[in-house]
Amino acid sequence: MSLARHVLRSYRATPNTLSTISRLPINHFSTTRPNRLQTTDKKNRIPEKEVPVTDYDAGHSSAHKHTVHVFQDGATPHTNIPPAWQEQESVNPLTRDVYEQMPHTMRSMSMFGKTVIITGGARGLGNHMARACAEAGAKNIVIFDANQELGDEAAAELHDKTGLPISFYRVDVRDAAAITASVEACVEKYGVPDVLINSAGIADSNIKAETYDVAMFRRLIDINLTGSFLMSQAVGRAMIAARKPGSIILVASMSGSIVNYPQEQSCYNASKAGVIQLGKSLAAEWAKNDIRVNCISPGYMDTALNRVPALEAQKKIWKSLTPQNRLGNVDDLNGLCVFLGSDASKFMTGANLIIDGGYTCY
């Protein structure tokens, strides 16, 4: 555990913070460097009382010049309180008319006309990313999920809300033959997909390594890691055969880069580290085929995966270790997913993008 994380954890867990800090080795808190910087900063600072501003307002051809008052303690009063998050019920697909009126930059950030396959799209993060793809202009959306009931419901709901062609394939991402047949059927119906989003995954936590059941360990690796590979292989193969550029988005986790606290979950962490390295390897191999592969690595998200009574107490600790002091909302990956699926990210491949409310800062 890094010293910073140890201090923070002690700070948050122990009311007697000062005594905790005073027990730490004194040389970790050397003040030489900050003091020198502060002195230099004071000498070089030219304090402004007013900042001159030139505004060109809509509907006015001439400039409006004015000044902004500078608060000498560096603080400006905050009056804008961000609105509370509300789950969006409606899904409004991007229409051709609106797309054609959009400026170039906004068009490049859309998924207009693209066909998307999304695994784990029956619920949770995958389901919300599917909705976001529809709002960003996707032409067809295909959900692959192992859960028949949820998959049927999700496909019907997305079709009702958008009017778009939506398909659901009941596929277990461990089943290579079912994946191959289903991807071939999608290609037949909708053409070669432009985007694959791999969100299917499971989590086991609070299992100590010394007592981890081997069958459970193998099952999780099979779903999270091998499943991501099998889906990428089948869709990548179709893209390569058709010489079609594409974007593959793997949902990994911050657990692929850090070790979560306080719960033991060695297998999940290893599976997600594997997904990140799989993503980089595929990105390097398939760059010549114009196929990009990137990972989204979420922090703790408020989804059914985490809505289990056994985790309630731990959630308080997770929040306290997250600078934003909250779990991610179920739609907090949407913007990043659309960006990675769109042409706005066309020079990005092999990246692992952590989206965690700041958890990995500490």
Ligand X SMILES: NC(=O)c1ccc[n+]([C@@H]2O[C@H](COP(=O)([O-])OP(=O)(O)OC[C@H]3O[C@@H](n4cnc5c(N)ncnc54)[C@H](O)[C@@H]3O)[C@@H](O)[C@H]2O)c1
Residues forming the active site: 253, 268, 272
Exposure letters 31-42 (e unless 16+ CB within 10 A, then b): eeeeeeeeeeee
Three-state SS for 187? helix
CB closer to ligand X, 114 vs 123: 123
Alpha carbon 110 to its chain's center: 17
Provide, rounded to whole angstroms, the least separation between the CB of residue 279 and ligand X: 13
- Please name which of 94, 107, 99, 134 lies closest in space to residue 118, comparing C-alpha atoms: 134
Q: How far apart are CA 48 and CA 77, in angstroms?
A: 18
CB closer to ligand X, 109 vs 249: 249
Structural element, H or E, at residue 353: strand 352-355
CB closer to ligand X, 93 vs 124: 124
Three-state SS for 3? helix
Q: How far apart are CA 186 and CA 196, in angstroms?
A: 12
Q: Is the peptide bond before 83 cis (omega within 30 degrees of 0)?
A: no
Provide, rounded to whole angstroms, the least separation between the CB of residue 134 and ligand X: 17
Give Cβ neighbours of residue 134 (< 8 Å, ≥ 6 apart): 91, 93, 141, 158, 161, 162, 164
Provide, rounded to whole angstroms, the least separation between the CB of residue 290 and ligand X: 26
CB closer to ligand X, 93 vs 201: 201
Provide, rounded to whole angstroms, the least separation between the CB of residue 361 and ligand X: 17
Provide, rounded to whole angstroms, the least separation between the CB of residue 170 and ligand X: 9
Provide, rounded to whole angstroms, the least separation between the CB of residue 44 and ligand X: 44
Q: State the residues that interact with ligand X by CB under 6 A.
A: 119-120, 122-126, 145-147, 150, 172-174, 199-203, 223, 227, 251, 253, 298, 300-301, 303-306
CB closer to ligand X, 94 vs 183: 183
| The three-state (H, E, C) secondary structure of 111-127, written as one string | CCCCEEEEECCCCHHHH
Give the type of residue at 229. F
CB closer to ligand X, 94 vs 278: 278
Concatenated DSSP letters of 218-285: HHHHIIIIIHHHHHHHHHHHHHHHTT--EEEEEE--GGGTS--SSS-BHHHHHHHHHHHHHHHHHHHH
Provide, rounded to whole angstroms, the least separation between the CB of residue 303 and ligand X: 3
Q: How far apart are CA 132 and CA 249, in angstroms?
A: 14
CB closer to ligand X, 219 vs 244: 219
- Which pair of tokens denotes residue 314? 């731990």
Concatenated DSSP letters of 16-82: -HHHHHHTS-GGGG--HHHHHHHHHHHHH----SEEEEEE--TT--S-EEEEEEPPTTS------PP
Q: How far apart are CA 232 and CA 149, in angstroms?
A: 25
